[in-house]
A and B are shown apart, each in its own frame.
Chain A
Amino acid sequence: MYTIIAFISFCGKGEKIMNGISGFFQSVISREGIIAVIVAVVLCIVIALLNKKKGRHMSTKTVVAIGVGAALYAALSAISIPVGPNTSFRIAIALLPIFGAFFGPTAGFLIGFIGHALNDAFMYGNVWWSWVFLSAIMGLFGGFVCFDKKFDPLNGICTKVHIGLMYLWSLIGMFVGSVIAYLGDVYLYSEPTEKLFVQITLANISNLVVIAVIGIPAVILIAKSKAKNQGLKKDF
């Protein structure tokens, strides 16, 4: 680090650059460093939880669900409704909380990861890894509603509490995923921080709308359609 600064200053730009660069790095270390540590801690807790909750390995059904979910993600990525600059409602995002809710956090994470990475690579020949993680983390947190053992939308069990939990986890997942996408873009792709802030805010708003309008209602609708018939009452 210092050798470079010395080298640059030697090249004749002098004081200005040195101050500029060292100031920039100090700000990175102070603000984002702390966020990075927080994210790391959160991830460790998440992984520990997952290991405790999960058995040794996935069932065949989960494997297939991940495959089909990722295929759906890639297929639906073609559908987007553009709104304003650099933002569009991407319908595929709705799949993350849905598949998370039906098949658990591991499936949600991998669907986001595989689906997003494959789609990026096939459509654009370039994978934006930091944004792949945003999708993956959203899927992961979408699956946390399954920690409640009673929650079972395929058999029609989805109470108001569960619906609230789904919204809550989606929001938290968005936040954590955004922080990771932000750090990834800043550190790996060296994008400017202010621009990223705007971009991630826009992306999150559109994602939230898609999840609120399509994602979670779809889970509720399916749960309703699978609910046991309540029409008959026992007369005593």
Chain B
Amino acid sequence: MSKSGSLYIERESLFHGLDGSIKLLMLIAWTGFAFAFMDVRVFLGMVLVGLGILKLSKLPAKAIWPLFAFIFVFTLFNSVFLLLITPEYGSKLTGSYTGILRLGFYSITLETIFYCITLSLKYIAIMPITILFIFTTHPSNFASSLNRIGVPYRVAYAVNIALRYIPDVKTEVDNIINAQEARGVAFRKGDAGLATRLKNYATVMVPLLLSSFNRIEVVSNAMDLRGFGKNKKRTWYHRKNYTGMDLAFAALSFAVLAAGVAIKITVGAVYWYPF
């Protein structure tokens, strides 16, 4: 994480040139489209297109791969959990039972394994555009793009403040925990039991809150002095006019979203099983 608390990486690419609000629109459309399906073929296509988009955005692979590693681990755990709780769920949907593993009552079917793969791909398919939005949108542009898409500017500004203060607050938390540890309060595994450690975090919470309330007081006074919230609308320093490329991607997003919603309403996310 950089000093500004965001993951923004400066590059010269088509997607860096797009307005933040358009990328947000793309994110919404892409996610909505993924929600409309439960079909491996669609998700594979989305993953490939998504990876292509990331390639075009010229983001360094080093920044992105940890996220992919995480999602991979997450989906693996999720699948194991799913297989533990509902080993025959896929068969319930398809109606065909192809047993793979039998242990008394418990039997995993091939249909469920395939279902897990589909579900994991769904999570991975949603990912690229989220990454694109986070890594290619300047944090100052973040709030204005939210506002442009219809979020009230006070809420958009709250998001901006959150982004701005994440690093500061992180140091604050670390300082307080270190101070308490220096006094002998146990936070680490092995120092004390689970209940004690949990209780000890209450001793972090109160000073953290009091310092946060101070911070809120100072910042909101400063903003009031500068006349924040006086008008119904506000202008944004980082806002540019839409280009042709922006409009093209906006149209594309609307089309994709409409297609997704239409499919969801008429068909529903039906699980596709080839065998």
Contacts and interface: CB of A to CB of B under 8 A. Distances in A.
Contacts of B131: 125
B94 interface: yes
Contact of A63 (B5, B158, B201): B158
B206 A195 contact: no
Contacts of A121: 130, 133-134
A68 B94 CA distance: 48
A231 interface: no
Contacts of B209: 98, 218, 222
B198 A63 contact: no
A10 interface: no
Contacts of A225: 206
Given A67-B160, A75-B173, A60 B95 contact: no
Interface in A12-62: 13, 16-17, 19-21, 24-25, 57-61
Interface string B6-19: 11000000000000
Nearest to B208: A72
Given A75-B166, A124-B67, A189-B35, A1 B268 contact: yes
A218 B202 contact: yes
Given A1-B267, A221-B206, A110 B229 contact: no
Given A1-B267, A191-B119, A195-B82, A94 B216 contact: no
B67 to A, nearest CB: 4
Interface of B, helix, strand, loop or mixed by DSSP = helix
B219 A68 contact: yes
Interface in A55-82: 57-61, 63-72, 74-76, 78-79, 81
Contacts, number: 213
Given A20-B92, A75-B170, A85-B81, A63 B229 contact: yes
Nearest to B64: A125
B46 to A, nearest CB: 13
B123 A126 contact: yes
B194 interface: yes
B274 to A, nearest CB: 10
- Place the interface of chain B in its size category: 35 or more
B151 to A, nearest CB: 10
B206 A67 contact: no
Given A125-B127, A126-B126, A194 B85 contact: yes
A199 B77 CA distance: 12
Interface string B138-174: 0000000000000010110111111111101110110
Contacts of A24: 92-93
A126 B198 contact: no
B228 A190 contact: no
Interface of A, helix, strand, loop or mixed by DSSP = helix
A177 interface: no
Contacts of B68: 125
B13 to A, nearest CB: 18
Contacts of B223: 60, 63-64
Given A63-B228, A121-B133, 4 more contacts: A64-B223, A65-B220, A76-B173, A192-B89
Interface of A: 1, 3-4, 13, 16-17, 19-21, 24-25, 57-61, 63-72, 74-76, 78-79, 81, 83, 85-86, 89, 91, 94, 98, 102, 110, 114-115, 118, 121-127, 129, 154, 187-192, 194-195, 198-199, 209-210, 213-215, 217-218, 221-222, 225
25 contacts: A16-B95, A20-B92, A20-B94, A24-B92, A58-B154, A60-B224, A68-B162, A68-B169, A70-B162, A71-B161, A71-B162, A79-B201, A91-B205, A94-B205, A118-B159, A121-B130, A125-B70, A126-B126, A127-B130, A190-B269, A194-B89, A195-B82, A199-B81, A210-B198, A222-B210
